[in-house]
A = this chain, B = another copy of it.
Amino acid sequence: MLNKTGKIFKALGENNRLRIVNMLMSKPMCVCEITDIIGLSQSTVSGHLRILKEAEIIEDIKEGLWVEYSLMKKDELNKTLFKLVRSLFDNDELLEKERRSALLADRNILCKK
């Protein structure tokens, strides 16, 4: 695979992973919040997060039992990338809705049981 570049684009070239990135633009989220909003199985979501993480698009920190994922904004590259992605995401109804859902998501409620 073509080093870093291919990984980044391949990671973003999938519908559900774009949705995840879009949600993380609202705020950092744990896996159960994302799973709840996106409506895929937990294992599937976990797999997508792994791919995004390996492409260095997102990063994770452990918070006890939870793992919180967030956009990795460290370097200049990612800033450009997210600006681009963000402009592509504008005016998409589903994505707008999911960003709002992300903002409202509360892991203390969603992740119980």
Contact = CB atoms under 8 A, between A and B. Distances in A.
Contacts of A88: 4-5, 8, 77
Number of copies: 2
Contacts of A12: 9, 13
Please classify the interface of chain A as helix (H, G, I), strand (E, B), loop, or mixed, using the class held by over half of its residues.
Answer: helix
A102 to B, nearest CB: 17
Nearest to A92: B3
Contacts of A15: 1-2, 6
Interface residues of A, number: 26
A71 to B, nearest CB: 16
Contacts of A92: 2-3, 5
Given A13-B12, A13-B13, A5 B83 contact: no
Interface of A: 1-6, 8-15, 18-19, 77, 80-81, 83-85, 87-89, 92
